[in-house]
Amino acid sequence: MSSETVLSKFGTLLQDSGMAQVRPVTGLSVEVKPSLVVASWTRPDQVASFTPRLKYRIKGDQEWTTVTLGRDSCQWSTRDLVPACEYEVLVQTLSLSRGVRQVQCDPVSFWTSEATPSAPCNLHCTGVAGTTISLCWDPPRQPNGAIALYRCATGWQFVDIHHQCNARRTLTKVCQHGCHCSET
Protein backbone atom coordinates (compact mmCIF):
# COMPACT_ATOMS: atom_id res chain seq x y z
CA MET A 1 0.00 0.00 0.00
CA SER A 2 2.38 2.70 -1.12
CA SER A 3 -0.02 5.61 -1.51
CA GLU A 4 -3.28 3.82 -0.88
CA THR A 5 -5.69 5.35 1.60
CA VAL A 6 -6.53 3.32 4.69
CA LEU A 7 -9.72 4.06 6.61
CA SER A 8 -9.85 2.53 10.07
CA LYS A 9 -13.09 1.55 11.79
CA PHE A 10 -12.67 4.61 14.02
CA GLY A 11 -12.74 6.96 11.04
CA THR A 12 -9.06 7.92 11.08
CA LEU A 13 -7.75 8.54 7.61
CA LEU A 14 -4.08 7.67 7.23
CA GLN A 15 -1.91 7.97 4.18
CA ASP A 16 1.44 6.24 4.21
CA SER A 17 3.17 8.29 1.52
CA GLY A 18 4.45 10.97 3.90
CA MET A 19 1.32 13.14 3.83
CA ALA A 20 -0.09 14.56 7.04
CA GLN A 21 -2.64 12.49 8.90
CA VAL A 22 -6.25 13.57 9.19
CA ARG A 23 -8.00 12.50 12.38
CA PRO A 24 -11.54 13.10 13.65
CA VAL A 25 -12.35 15.34 16.57
CA THR A 26 -13.27 13.54 19.80
CA GLY A 27 -15.67 14.19 22.66
CA LEU A 28 -18.37 15.96 20.66
CA SER A 29 -21.03 17.16 23.11
CA VAL A 30 -23.99 19.49 22.90
CA GLU A 31 -25.33 21.76 25.65
CA VAL A 32 -28.90 22.96 25.15
CA LYS A 33 -29.93 26.17 26.89
CA PRO A 34 -33.34 27.88 26.63
CA SER A 35 -32.43 29.96 23.55
CA LEU A 36 -28.91 28.75 22.75
CA VAL A 37 -27.24 25.54 21.61
CA VAL A 38 -23.49 25.08 22.15
CA ALA A 39 -21.52 22.22 20.56
CA SER A 40 -17.96 21.58 21.71
CA TRP A 41 -15.29 18.97 20.99
CA THR A 42 -11.67 18.09 21.58
CA ARG A 43 -9.10 18.70 18.88
CA PRO A 44 -7.78 15.62 17.07
CA ASP A 45 -4.81 13.85 18.68
CA GLN A 46 -1.35 14.33 17.17
CA VAL A 47 -2.47 17.06 14.77
CA ALA A 48 -0.63 20.37 14.73
CA SER A 49 -3.53 22.30 13.19
CA PHE A 50 -6.94 21.44 11.79
CA THR A 51 -9.93 23.07 10.11
CA PRO A 52 -13.29 21.88 11.46
CA ARG A 53 -16.52 21.92 9.47
CA LEU A 54 -19.72 21.42 11.46
CA LYS A 55 -22.86 19.89 9.93
CA TYR A 56 -26.33 19.81 11.48
CA ARG A 57 -29.87 18.87 10.46
CA ILE A 58 -33.27 18.06 11.88
CA LYS A 59 -33.16 14.31 12.49
CA GLY A 60 -34.67 12.50 9.52
CA ASP A 61 -34.01 15.30 7.00
CA GLN A 62 -31.79 14.49 4.03
CA GLU A 63 -30.05 17.87 3.76
CA TRP A 64 -27.30 18.99 6.18
CA THR A 65 -26.53 22.62 6.94
CA THR A 66 -22.75 23.14 6.81
CA VAL A 67 -20.79 25.70 8.81
CA THR A 68 -17.07 26.12 8.11
CA LEU A 69 -15.36 27.25 11.30
CA GLY A 70 -12.09 29.03 11.91
CA ARG A 71 -8.86 27.11 12.08
CA ASP A 72 -8.44 25.09 15.31
CA SER A 73 -11.98 25.96 16.53
CA CYS A 74 -13.38 23.65 19.21
CA GLN A 75 -16.81 25.23 19.77
CA TRP A 76 -19.87 26.43 17.86
CA SER A 77 -23.05 28.07 19.08
CA THR A 78 -26.33 29.16 17.51
CA ARG A 79 -29.70 30.63 18.41
CA ASP A 80 -31.23 29.82 15.01
CA LEU A 81 -32.63 26.31 15.49
CA VAL A 82 -36.30 25.31 15.48
CA PRO A 83 -37.64 24.90 19.05
CA ALA A 84 -38.68 21.44 20.32
CA CYS A 85 -37.00 19.51 17.47
CA GLU A 86 -34.49 16.67 17.47
CA TYR A 87 -31.26 17.51 15.65
CA GLU A 88 -28.12 15.66 14.64
CA VAL A 89 -24.71 17.32 14.59
CA LEU A 90 -21.27 16.12 13.50
CA VAL A 91 -17.86 17.67 12.96
CA GLN A 92 -15.63 16.98 9.96
CA THR A 93 -11.88 17.48 10.11
CA LEU A 94 -10.34 18.84 6.92
CA SER A 95 -6.80 18.73 5.65
CA LEU A 96 -6.00 20.99 2.73
CA SER A 97 -2.42 19.88 2.10
CA ARG A 98 -2.03 18.02 -1.21
CA GLY A 99 -5.76 18.05 -1.90
CA VAL A 100 -8.78 18.17 0.32
CA ARG A 101 -9.18 15.19 2.64
CA GLN A 102 -11.68 14.86 5.44
CA VAL A 103 -12.99 12.56 8.17
CA GLN A 104 -15.88 13.02 10.54
CA CYS A 105 -16.88 11.96 14.00
CA ASP A 106 -20.08 10.05 14.68
CA PRO A 107 -23.21 12.24 14.79
CA VAL A 108 -24.65 13.29 18.15
CA SER A 109 -28.43 13.78 18.61
CA PHE A 110 -30.04 16.41 20.81
CA TRP A 111 -33.40 18.12 21.36
CA THR A 112 -33.76 21.90 21.28
CA SER A 113 -35.67 23.60 24.10
CA GLU A 114 -39.34 24.39 23.86
CA ALA A 115 -40.23 28.05 23.34
CA THR A 116 -43.24 30.29 23.75
CA PRO A 117 -45.94 29.28 21.28
CA SER A 118 -47.47 31.68 18.81
CA ALA A 119 -50.99 32.91 19.58
CA PRO A 120 -53.95 30.58 19.05
CA CYS A 121 -55.56 30.92 15.61
CA ASN A 122 -59.10 31.77 14.53
CA LEU A 123 -60.13 33.24 17.88
CA HIS A 124 -63.89 33.96 18.00
CA CYS A 125 -65.91 35.32 20.90
CA THR A 126 -69.69 35.44 20.81
CA GLY A 127 -72.32 36.36 23.35
CA VAL A 128 -74.53 33.32 23.84
CA ALA A 129 -77.17 34.76 26.14
CA GLY A 130 -77.28 37.36 28.92
CA THR A 131 -74.23 36.68 31.09
CA THR A 132 -72.76 33.83 28.97
CA ILE A 133 -70.04 34.09 26.29
CA SER A 134 -68.51 31.47 24.03
CA LEU A 135 -64.84 31.60 23.03
CA CYS A 136 -63.48 29.34 20.26
CA TRP A 137 -59.94 28.94 18.87
CA ASP A 138 -57.63 26.64 16.93
CA PRO A 139 -54.15 25.59 18.11
CA PRO A 140 -51.24 27.95 17.30
CA ARG A 141 -49.46 27.58 13.95
CA GLN A 142 -46.12 27.40 15.77
CA PRO A 143 -46.62 25.45 19.00
CA ASN A 144 -42.82 25.38 19.62
CA GLY A 145 -43.34 22.30 21.80
CA ALA A 146 -46.25 20.46 23.39
CA ILE A 147 -49.21 22.63 24.36
CA ALA A 148 -50.05 21.73 27.97
CA LEU A 149 -52.93 24.15 28.56
CA TYR A 150 -54.59 27.35 27.47
CA ARG A 151 -55.22 30.07 30.05
CA CYS A 152 -58.27 32.25 29.48
CA ALA A 153 -58.98 35.31 31.58
CA THR A 154 -62.22 37.13 32.23
CA GLY A 155 -61.77 40.07 34.54
CA TRP A 156 -59.60 38.81 37.41
CA GLN A 157 -60.54 35.15 36.99
CA PHE A 158 -58.36 32.67 35.08
CA VAL A 159 -59.55 29.43 33.55
CA ASP A 160 -56.96 26.77 32.67
CA ILE A 161 -58.02 24.52 29.84
CA HIS A 162 -55.83 21.44 29.66
CA HIS A 163 -54.97 20.61 26.09
CA GLN A 164 -55.53 16.96 25.15
CA CYS A 165 -55.14 17.07 21.37
CA ASN A 166 -54.95 19.46 18.43
CA ALA A 167 -58.74 19.75 18.15
CA ARG A 168 -60.56 23.05 18.05
CA ARG A 169 -61.31 24.27 21.59
CA THR A 170 -64.43 26.03 22.90
CA LEU A 171 -64.85 27.74 26.27
CA THR A 172 -68.32 28.68 27.41
CA LYS A 173 -68.18 31.06 30.37
CA VAL A 174 -71.26 31.63 32.48
CA CYS A 175 -70.14 34.83 34.13
CA GLN A 176 -71.99 34.40 37.43
CA HIS A 177 -72.01 30.60 37.75
CA GLY A 178 -68.48 29.35 36.94
CA CYS A 179 -66.87 28.05 33.74
CA HIS A 180 -67.46 25.21 31.36
CA CYS A 181 -65.04 23.95 28.70
CA SER A 182 -65.90 21.58 25.88
CA GLU A 183 -64.35 20.41 22.64
CA THR A 184 -65.98 20.99 19.29
The rounded distance, in Å, linking the Cα atoms of 87 and 32 is 11
Cβ-based neighbours of 179, under 8 Å, separated by 6 or more: 157, 159, 171, 172, 173
What pLDDT digit, counting tens, does each position of 105-151 carry? 999 999 999 999 999 888 887 776 766 777 788 888 998 888 888 87
Q: Is the pLDDT of residue 1 over 50?
A: no
Beta strands per DSSP E along the chain: 5-7, 13-15, 26-33, 36-42, 51-58, 65-68, 75-78, 86-95, 101-104, 108-111, 121-129, 132-138, 149-154, 157-162, 169-174, 178-183
**Amino acid occupying residue 146:** A
